[in-house]
Amino acid sequence: MKKILTLAVVLMAAVTMKAQTDVQALYHFTNGEKHLTSTVEMFKTDNNGSNYFFVDFDYGMQGVKGATQAYWEISRGIKFWKAPFEIHVEYDGGLGQFVSTPFNGAYTIKDAWLFGGQYTWNTADFSKIFTLQAMYKTIRNKNKASFQITGVWTLNFFKNKFTASGFLDFWKEDNTFADGATRSYTMVSQPQFWYNYDKHLSLGSEIDLSYGFASHKNFYVNPTIAAKWTF
């Protein structure tokens, strides 16, 4: 899960009405989950708002060789005014596979639809930006009436040579884990730290933080080594 297309780039795109795209490669190296993740993000504005999507692919998980899991989010921001408030509509979903005999098994990541609004704060030079989203959320065949709160941030330092960015999602979802434990709320955050070699290449790390998410019923930390190319 990403949402981390640099907000300064996003706001500048809103001014110039250009598409902004980046590709990321992240290697998870701890907690028995050594695998690679690739991410493609795109953000584009128009006269009535903006479009955003990202696609994550995980490779080499659960004993599977090659692509193991795919997940994507796509959203539309609707705005007919100059104030920093935007209507937000979003879809999330995905699928994956696991090793089985004679054929691999498959599963889906339950579809979710979200609707709400977002408000953005930024400094005059767009070097520091924070966006807060509050949304109604419905999850297919699960929590039909839920909610999600999302914060997204970007902080640029040293003439944009260093960037700290990320997001935090908190939502209501009823989950039951393998040992019978249950959780009613989920938190996921992915702060990123980048050294920007130039306008295209960035090197750094993403730290995956979660609670009650996927197979992790308790608080979970998984750092990565990462590279990003911005087109």
Q: pLDDT tens for residues 160-173? A: 999 999 999 999 99
Residue 106 has pLDDT above 60, yes or no: yes
Q: pLDDT tens for residues 110-143? A: 999 999 999 999 998 888 999 999 999 999 999 9
Domain ranges in the chain?
7-230
pLDDT at 16: 53
Say how far apart CA 119 and CA 121 lie, in whole Å.
7
- Per the DSSP assignment, residues forming a β-bridge with 230 are 22
- Per the DSSP assignment, residues forming a β-bridge with 57 are 38, 70
Average pLDDT over residues 179-183: 91
pLDDT at 143: 92
Average pLDDT over residues 87-102: 93
What is the CATH superfamily name and number for domain 7-230?
monomeric porin ompg (2.40.160.40)
pTM of the predicted protein model? 0.89
Here the tokens at position 173 are 């979802």
pLDDT at 15: 53
* CA 159 centroid distance within chain: 26
